[in-house]
Structure 1
Amino acid sequence: MRIALLEDEYEQAQHVQQILSDQGHPCDSFPTGQSFLSAVLHRSYDLMILDWQIPDMTGLDVLRDIRAQLNWPVPVVFLTQRDSEQDIVQALDAGADDYLSKPARPAELIARINALARRSNPDSDKEELHYGPFVVNTSRRTIALNGERLTLTDKDFDLTLFLFQNQGRLLTREMLLERVWGLTRDINTRTVDTHMSRLRRRLGLNPDNGFRIKTIYQRGYRLEAMADAAAEEVTSA
């Protein structure tokens, strides 16, 4: 999982980043609420860890902005010295998924993160996944539309599965390159755009089949269920 950390104390940030990287979780650290929000609202993270007391705003304010502006329920954990019952209740009521007290205990932090990962993706262990008229078989690595098996490359399958598992979520090109192709984020390539264009045609990702791939200008892509997209357009009208 790629994790965003809000922590203004350098040594604390280094400590948490080391714990996470040792378990294979890349982590970007930010010292202020504004720098954190600027990053997480334009990049793709699987989980966020927030300190409460930071220089420019509170972690609670950051959490409220995340819940108000992100269109998918990213898991959020508080890691802070504030440990009163009132603080914990306030954070959970504002949308936090878990709450830990400093200092971070490595085994507990990783266990909580793994539990949240399982909870946020409950279908990860299922062999057959259903998304409207699409059926994805993760064991056979096949995808069928209305009962007819589609012809896809291995990368097409990986990309499609990742899109369905993250529908409604902004996925940056950098994240797709890293998760699907295993490439570093700073590489300059049109690979993602080429594959997205091909998937639209091969999978029939159009309103008739209930899904669309929406291009988010200069940011990336989002797979949208048409029912959700229509509801969002009605709400914003």
Structure 2
Amino acid sequence: MFIALLEDDPDQAILVRTWLEDSGHKCAVFGSGVAITRAVHNESYDLLILDWLVPDMDGLEVLDRVRATLDWRVPVLFVTQRDAENDIVEALEHGADDYMPKPIKRAEMLAPIDAISRRSQQAPEGNDKRLEFSPYTLNTATRTIKLGEATLELTHREFELALFFFKHYGRILSRGYILEAVWGRSAELNTRTVDTHISRLRRKLSLEASNGWQLSSIYQHGYRLEQCATEQLASETSH
């Protein structure tokens, strides 16, 4: 997973980042609330780990801003020295998914993170071979996609890209995140590849309101595949 860590103690940040990277995760470290709040609007993180007490903005304020401005629910884990029961309750009421008091051991931290990782990788409806997103059917065994009864002609990369979008529909995905997840390349490489493939994919899959799905470009961020609202679909099909 791609994890954003808010921690103003450099030694603690290095320790936690090492634990995460040794477990196969990628970790971006931020020393201020302003920095991580800005970052979550420019990158697609799978998990936020927040300290409560940071110099410019406390963790709860960061959490409130994230929940208020992001239109998808990124998991949030608090790791902090504040361990009073009312602190834990307050964090959970603000939308935290879990809360762990410091000092923390490696295994204790990684257990909930691994659980989040497993949930994020689960295919819809628990079937990893045939995925239904009406009117689309994705078959991971044959690596084919059907629109209704018609089998669509896609390259291997286009299938991987479509599968990635459908598994993460409703979520804004940055170009860098898509490039790393589908191509396995660093986000520093040219992201025009992503734009070109997405344009072709949108056309080949006919991702439009009349088919119940839209693949939209999100200004200064990336792309989002979303199901059309019933009213929008009815409006489109009536014309």
- Do they fold alike, i.e. is TM over 0.5? yes
1:82-138 Cα deviation digits (max 9, x unpaired): 111111111111111111122232122222112123334542652222112111122
CA distance in 2, matches of 1:196, 1:107: 39
CA contact 1:75–1:120 (8 Å) conserved in 2:
no
Selected match of 2:225 from 209, 217, 223:
223
- CA-to-partner distance for each residue in 1:170-192, whole Å, 9 max, x for gaps? 11111111110011111124210
Any residues of structure 2 matched to 1:143-182 within 5 Å, and which? Answer: 143-182=145-184
Hey, what does 1:100 align to over in structure 2? Answer: 100
Structure 1, gaps ≥5 residues long = 231-237
Give the Cα–Cα distance (whole angstroms) in 1 for the partners of residues 191 and 122 of structure 2.
Answer: 32
1:1-237 superposed matches below 5 A = 1-123=1-123, 126-127=127-128, 128-227=130-229
Amino acid at match of 2:93: D
What SS class does the counterpart of residue 217 from structure 2 fall into?
Answer: strand
Quote the offset at 1:229 in angstroms: 9.9
Q: Number of paired residues?
A: 231
TM-score by length of 2: 0.91
Q: Partners of 2:66 and 2:77 in 1: how far apart?
A: 12
Sequence identity percentage: 51
Q: Distance in 2 between matches of 1:43 and 1:59?
A: 19
Q: CA deviation at 1:61?
A: 0.8
For residues 97 and 134 of structure 2, the distance between their equivalents in structure 1, rounded to whole angstroms, comes to 29
Q: Report if aligned partners of 1:3, 1:47 keep a CA contact under 8 Å in 2.
A: yes
**For residue 41 of structure 2, what is the amino acid of its counterpart?**
L
Cα distance in 2, alignment partners of residues 183 and 36 from structure 1: 23
Q: Which moved more, 1:17-26 or 1:130-139?
A: 130-139
Using structure 1 for the length normalisation, give the TM-score: 0.92
Q: Tell me how far apart the structure 2 counterparts of residues 177 and 28 of structure 1 sit (CA, whole Å).
A: 17
- The answer to whether the Cα contact below 8 Å between 2:8 and 2:32 also exists between their aligned partners in 1 is yes
Structure 2: 5+ residue stretches without partners: 233-239
